Chain A
């Protein structure tokens, strides 16, 4: 590589001014994954889990179980180019091709591992693969695939499935008398049964003090993570979405060591606060502030560098991955009740505002109205995914909502979670330039209509 090219690459790397405090956090997440894989390969009990928005994770963590998330592994398979052969296994086994891409990749992977290789991890599987679990922890939150997919794995391995209940009430229905408390009651009773199930299947007893500590750490990590994201309302925005996505697994999946994560998030808070004070932005010149929804094109994150070169700063993003709005749980002593209230808060934390603003889609859609308004966004980049309906269905509604209420325009660029060809960065860039004119136009409209950005 010639020196000019090296310089050019280094220059590109600097387009987004990444947070220094993010790196040790991310390194620990990566290291944890590697260690976890080694432990699993050495025979340590492993659980396959769906993203469950905190309901089950602190319990598994307190019980020292290794956890692997097939959704994340699906993304890894896609990004490393290993998904396609597994998709073909799933197709050959009769799973419809329109199903969630991650699920098809996992089903195909498991088909190969259990039927063809009699339980051996496929040698080509990236990052050490996923060994056969002792149980599957699914969740009823957000989409049907989240539990039907794990149930379908029963075809390949006789492994029990626990489906975590995650209530999803309507906005006005939540505020009916007794509604919230009934949800808490469901959560606490359900998690108590879940603990008993895990104890039965692992032969281990849960250390309740350890669970309490884990839960408190989880809550504090996420409170700090929330505060960091609040600081991003500053102009220029000090932290780009890429740092959000890099740091997110430590808060959302509790990956890594929670004590270490807490320190990293404290450092991150200080770094971001310092940047706000010194008016240091995440990109050199912030011309446009954008909100991104929902899952990013993991395989093409450099796309954001190219947009950063044009002055696009991504200041807020991905409702489904964000920490819940903080809730005072200091008066709650039962760790299962703390978990339940905390988990419920992810989705219903926006409901009171949504009701006030008369937006019935209190989770998924309403948050984007709040983000666009409070983070003073000029535009939204929406990324519907052809085989992930839960991350896509609400996006046309979001586009209408933020245009009608705030005069904030949206650019919709389709993609997929495993079929990477659907997201074409060149085409996306070609559409980005004219969208700048649209953002400029609506900036004038907002001024005329009395908005303050």
Chain B
């Protein structure tokens, strides 16, 4: 039991039984709000004393119920996530916020609202570009979310409360970045598998409890002597999301995963929300511009009339080069589930970009199901063997 007080063990425990704490909080009278995507501004939930709870799929759960509502040629992560919802896996939720982060999220939002009766449901539209007029529109969307949350809770969301919540979440973002600093040494002090568990745990906890957990984890990792072994390859992962340790371990059997640029890794923590006079300005800017999801259309210069492919690559993927250099990466994995269009369209260009910076890469497509893990393992092993 003593070991469970340690941060990593605690994170592992939460990862395995994610809903335990949410249910405890629910029993104490708190309201729990689900969100299936990191585009949902959870600062607003925190500010209103709601508990944000990220909803996931389950790679071990065969999709059965979702078949009545969604075709099979559809993002298998969202299919699984919706399947779990139909099976009342998260029946303690008091509501859900779905964002128009991608087409499958937008389409499934309608189904979520139709098939499952939550006391609270909100759909938040997100523009496709980062243009100033799109930013204004998006701020309006945040304002609408604020209003429905206020109506649901019967509380006013004051600017001060929202700023305080932003600060708490910014602390969390800074702590996650600090956690990733611990993968810079060779060998890294913490594995990608451990980080995945920590981040999934964070997304199941109130922000302050998450920050305590992170502080504990960072302290533990710095003190421990039994970190990961040094492997011949240091990998960066680029993916829509990776949320299962069994998948991560496939990579870490032959490599050190030192950077995970996905929604299960650093993506939601890479930058921080600016504290602006109107906090909605800072939130709008952060969520529309700073989250590096392939769903957003970006240009080198807004409204450019001249295009240069290499400049375009640099402006879209330059941050990955920074990761690669700072974390001394020597291999890149582009991991996507089948039918993930926004990310899949990026693959050849991203491959060009990694070629241009001299880092070998591989694109691997899989289905979000346990049966898909064996072929995934084979491809990863072959790639690692080639580059090491």
What residues make up the interface of A, taking CB atoms closer than 8 Å to B? 93-96, 98-100, 103, 135, 138, 140, 142-145, 147-149, 151-152, 154-155, 158-163, 165-170, 173, 176, 178-179, 182-183, 185-186, 189-190, 193, 196-197, 200-201, 359-362, 364-365, 384, 386-387, 389-390, 392-397, 400
Contacts and interface: CB of A to CB of B under 8 A. Distances in A.
Contacts of B102: 144
Contact of B125 (A155, A169, A200): A169
Given A148-B294, A201-B305, A169 B123 contact: yes
Nearest to B114: A360
B104 A389 contact: yes
Nearest 9 A-B pairs (CB), nearest first? Answer: A140-B128, A170-B123, A148-B345, A361-B110, A360-B113, A189-B133, A186-B137, A94-B348, A182-B140
A155 to B, nearest CB: 6
Given A170-B123, A397-B111, A389 B307 contact: no
Nearest to B306: A160
B351 A94 contact: yes
A376 B224 CA distance: 72
10 contacts: A140-B129, A148-B342, A148-B346, A161-B307, A167-B127, A186-B134, A189-B136, A384-B73, A387-B73, A389-B74
A397 B137 contact: no
B136 A185 contact: yes
Given A178-B140, A186-B127, A393-B107, A165 B338 contact: no
Interface residues of B, number: 60
B299 interface: yes
Contacts of B341: 99-100, 143-145, 148, 389
Given A160-B307, A165-B127, A389-B103, 10 more contacts: A135-B305, A147-B128, A148-B345, A154-B349, A170-B122, A182-B140, A361-B114, A393-B70, A393-B104, A397-B114
Interface in B281-317: 294-295, 297, 299, 303-309, 312
Contacts of B150: none
Interface string B37-72: 000000000000000000000000000000011110
Interface in B248-300: 294-295, 297, 299
B323 interface: no
Nearest to B129: A163
A204 to B, nearest CB: 13
B144 interface: yes
A400 B125 CA distance: 26
Of A142, A143, A148, A186, most buried by chain B (CB within 10 Å of CB) is: A148
Interface string B338-374: 1101101111110110000000000101000000000
Nearest to A176: B144
B303 A197 contact: yes
A94 B147 contact: no
Nearest to B294: A148
Nearest to A354: B110
Given A100-B341, A186-B137, A201-B305, A173 B347 contact: no
A196 B69 contact: no
A179 B299 contact: no
Contacts of B107: 364, 389-390, 393-394
Given A147-B297, A159-B307, A98 B338 contact: yes
B173 interface: no
B109 interface: yes
Contacts of A365: 110
A386 to B, nearest CB: 5
Nearest to A393: B107
B209 to A, nearest CB: 31
Nearest to B311: A158
B90 interface: no
Contact of B307 (A154, A173, A384, A392): A154
A397 B129 contact: no
B333 to A, nearest CB: 15
A152 B347 CA distance: 9
A308 to B, nearest CB: 28
A392 B136 CA distance: 32
Interface string B173-217: 000000000000000000000000000000000000000000000
A190 B133 contact: yes
